[in-house]
Chain A
């Protein structure tokens, strides 16, 4: 298995531009997570989906952030308009869950976003 795939790996953009980050979870996994990591705030959960449905988006910082999961094999995280304080590494992770049973999360390599 290729693992969780994220694209792009690096993104440099200017303030005010729209940014779209992409994630392909591991086949067969039904939960998908978006995280943001910075030196100041560490690793923060932004939103997670279960069976393509957003379950908890309380970590999404502002209305400028939105996430979608149109099918089981693809998700996007969009920032519009982007600001310099959005600069961070964004991780996508997936896992297989059912009911109260828990399985480990598998993280992608991350997208390093720089907003100038």
Chain B
């Protein structure tokens, strides 16, 4: 069956450390993979997109990797700050179309 999982429901790290979030999927062949941030009571906000033929993408303190063999994406936040505390969602985009499948999310807490 098709499944998309994120490594844990919640992750606590110390300020200044690197947070690493994992997104694994089975029986999907995404053309793209995205990461979103969602704060309580708000809609998701787009962070990064990575294509199936890209290995890595960076944006400021954020880095995303995409391994289509392992069917896994890693999302890193370096020099984490309390303001990075939020829920992070990965999303698969299928068939170069607009069919999105979201993961359940990981709630990140960065402790001062």
A residues near B75, Cβ cutoff 8 Å: none
| B98–A33 touching, CB < 8 Å | yes
| A97–B105 touching, CB < 8 Å | no
Q: Is B44 an interface residue when CB atoms closer than 8 A count as contact?
A: yes
Q: Is B102 an interface residue when CB atoms closer than 8 A count as contact?
A: yes
Rounded to whole Å, the gap between the CB of A111 and the closest CB of chain B is 11
| B100–A102 touching, CB < 8 Å | no
Residues of chain B in range 54-112 having any CB-CB distance to chain A below 8 Å: 89, 93, 96-105
A-side interface mostly: strand
| B98–A55 touching, CB < 8 Å | yes
B residues near A42, Cβ cutoff 8 Å: 102-105
**Distance of A97 Cα from B97 Cα, bound (Å):** 9
Given known pairs A105-B46, A107-B43, the reply for A43 and B102 (CB within 8 Å) is yes
Across the interface, A100 reaches (CB within 8 A) one of B96, B100, B103, namely B96
Write the chain A residue with the least CB distance to B101: A45
Write the chain B residue with the least CB distance to A101: B96
B-side interface mostly: strand
We find that the number of chain A residues with CB closer than 8 angstroms to chain B is: 24
Rounded to whole Å, the gap between the CB of B50 and the closest CB of chain A is 11
A residues near B45, Cβ cutoff 8 Å: 107
Most buried by B among A33, A56, A102, A106: A102
Given known pairs A104-B46, A109-B43, the reply for A50 and B103 (CB within 8 Å) is no
Across the interface, B43 reaches (CB within 8 A) one of A45, A104, A110, namely A110
Write the chain B residue with the least CB distance to A100: B96
A residues near B99, Cβ cutoff 8 Å: 45, 48, 56
**Distance of A115 Cα from B102 Cα, bound (Å):** 25
Using CB atoms and an 8 Å cutoff, list the residues of chain B in contact with chain A: 32, 34, 42-46, 49, 89, 93, 96-105
Using CB atoms and an 8 Å cutoff, list the residues of chain A in contact with chain B: 4, 31, 33, 42-45, 48, 50, 55-56, 91, 93, 95, 97, 100, 102, 104-110
Instruction: Contacts A33-B98, A45-B102 known; list 7 others, CB within 8 Å.
Output: A42-B103, A45-B100, A56-B98, A97-B98, A104-B34, A105-B46, A108-B43
